[in-house]
Copies of this chain bind each other. A is one copy, B any other.
Amino acid sequence: MADISTRKVNPLFLREEELRQGIELLFYAYRDFTAVADQMLEQYNFGRAHHRVIYFVSRNPGITVSDLLSILKITKQSLSRVLGQLVREGFIEQRTGLQDRRQRLLTLTEKGEALERELTEKQRALIAAAYREAGAESVEGFRKVMLGMLGEEDRKRFGDDGPTGLRQRAG
């Protein structure tokens, strides 16, 4: 890594190194972050997509299919396969929207809630440990940097417009 002399001579190298470390931190953290849930998902014959669906439905009870699609940014068909499984196996419940009866509002069943807790537990523990170790001030910095990487649309989700920034629907 850059020592002090390098720092004086070539400040651009440091910057480049700093950015590349950022790239790698993101890669390693995400790889491990998903890995801790993957083990458990296997036991249910589910994949990461199932986890994501369960997670975001848990976070946004009564979310519509199209809102879920806009979060996950996958195709309708891909969601359909995963969602269909989860509904058939009793993890997710669909109810017809009250204002708009074309919508299918998604919520977790008790069974789904239980699986969600189980799946996310290890991930939460991983983040909790990192937060604790780093301290409150670092956590604030972490949040700032991460938010800075998001597009306008996603940044909104972290405002005060509900957990994931979707207008909640009654159901």
What is the interface of chain A, defined by CB distance below 8 A to chain B?
Answer: 1, 15-33, 35, 52, 55, 59, 73, 120, 123-124, 126-131, 133-135, 137-151, 154, 157-160, 162-164
Decide: A23 and B158 in contact? CB cutoff 8 A.
Answer: no
> A135 → chain B, closest Cβ, in Å?
8
Main secondary structure of the interface of A (DSSP, over half): helix
Separation of A160 and B2 alpha carbons in the complex (Å)? 9
Q: Which residues of B contact A149 (CB under 8 A)?
A: 29, 32-33, 126-127, 129-130
Decide: B20 and A59 in contact? CB cutoff 8 A.
Answer: yes
Contact pick for A154, options B16, B28, B154, CB 8 Å: B28
> A30 → chain B, closest Cβ, in Å?
5
Separation of A12 and B93 alpha carbons in the complex (Å)? 28
Q: Can you spell out 17 A-B residue pairs with CB atoms less than 8 angstroms apart?
A: A1-B162, A15-B128, A19-B124, A20-B59, A21-B143, A24-B59, A25-B147, A25-B150, A26-B29, A26-B146, A28-B150, A35-B73, A130-B146, A131-B145, A134-B145, A134-B148, A139-B145
Decide: B143 and A140 in contact? CB cutoff 8 A.
Answer: no
Report if A123-B23 is in contact (Cβ < 8 Å); known contacts: A73-B31, A139-B145, A141-B139: yes
Q: Which residues of B contact A148 (CB under 8 A)?
A: 129-131, 133-134
Q: Which residues of B contact A127 (CB under 8 A)?
A: 19, 22-23, 26, 149
Residue of B nearest to A130 (CB): B148
Separation of A157 and B160 alpha carbons in the complex (Å)? 38
Q: Which residues of B contact A30 (CB under 8 A)?
A: 26, 30
